[in-house]
Structure formats: structure tokens, C-alpha cells
């Protein structure tokens, strides 16, 4: 299993959610965050030169998926979240040791 963590522009959330559901994602976590990437937020939102770093609102989505589905999920996020402008986000992929569905006690891929 893989944990896919992606930051996206907030206005893209609904389109990304729909595309991921169509692609076979069975669940996800969503968090409103602030962050910055290579531009330190400077060129995305101007708030005056006095600030060393400007945090920019983003949405963080997290999905745990079976290994076989990971590439599809990644490419779906990439295609759906892209505007071509700076700040489109990042996708990180981590290995997942274990998952448990609390209601049934199922584990591993059966739990996702």
C-alpha cells in the first residue's frame, strides 16, 4: 500500500475529488493547510516586502491505496490539479506498513 499526500489549490478540491472517485479511490482525508514551496509564497500572493515568508492557503489530501492503484491516483491528481501556474502543488508517495478497518478488523489491502 502507498500513502499519497498531495497539496493542491483549494479551488481544485471538488474536481480532484470527483476524478479520484472515478479513478477508484475509496476514501481520502482532506485538511486545509498553509504552506510555501520554491517561491516562499512571494510571487503567489503579494503582502509587502517586509515579510520574509508568506504562507499560502492550500488543501492537503491524503489517500492510502493499493500498490496497483498508486500510479493511476498520482496521474489523476497531476492532471486534475494542474493549471500550469506556480503553486499547483506537490505529490509525495510513502510506503504504508499496515491498515485496519476498525469495524471489521480487516487488515492490509482488505481494509482500504
Ligand X SMILES: Nc1ncnc2c1ncn2[C@@H]1O[C@H](COP(=O)(O)OP(=O)(O)OP(=O)(O)O)[C@@H](O)[C@H]1O
Binding site for ligand X (CB under 6 A): 7, 33, 35-39, 56, 58, 86-90
Residue 5 has a CB neighbour count (10 Å cut-off) of 16
Taking CB within 5 to 8 Å according to partner kind, which of Mg ion, ligand X, none is near residue 108? Answer: none
Query: What is the smallest separation between the CB atom of 70 and ligand X, expressed in angstroms?
Result: 19
Chain residue whose CB lies nearest Mg ion = 37
Which letter does DSSP use for residue 107 in this model?
B
CB–CB of 10/27 below 8 Å? no
Query: What is the smallest separation between the CB atom of 55 and Mg ion, expressed in angstroms?
Result: 12
Residue 111 has a CB neighbour count (10 Å cut-off) of 16
Amino acid at each position: 500500500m502507498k500513502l499519497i499526500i498531495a497539496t493542491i489549490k483549494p479551488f481544485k478540491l471538488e474536481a480532484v475529488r470527483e476524478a479520484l472517485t472515478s479513478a477508484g479511490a475509496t476514501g481520502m482525508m482532506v485538511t486545509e493547510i498553509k504552506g510555501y514551496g520554491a517561491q516562499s509564497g512571494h510571487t503567489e500572493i503579494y503582502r509587502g516586502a517586509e515579510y520574509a515568508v508568506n504562507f499560502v492557503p492550500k488543501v492537503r489530501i491524503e489517500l492510502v491505496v493499493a500498490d496497483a492503484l498508486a500510479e493511476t491516483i498520482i496521474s489523476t491528481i497531476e492532471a486534475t490539479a494542474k493549471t500550469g501556474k506556480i503553486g499547483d502543488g506537490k505529490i509525495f508517495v510513502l510506503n504504508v506498513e499496515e491498515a485496519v478497518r476498525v469495524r471489521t478488523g480487516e487488515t492490509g489491502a482488505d481494509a482500504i
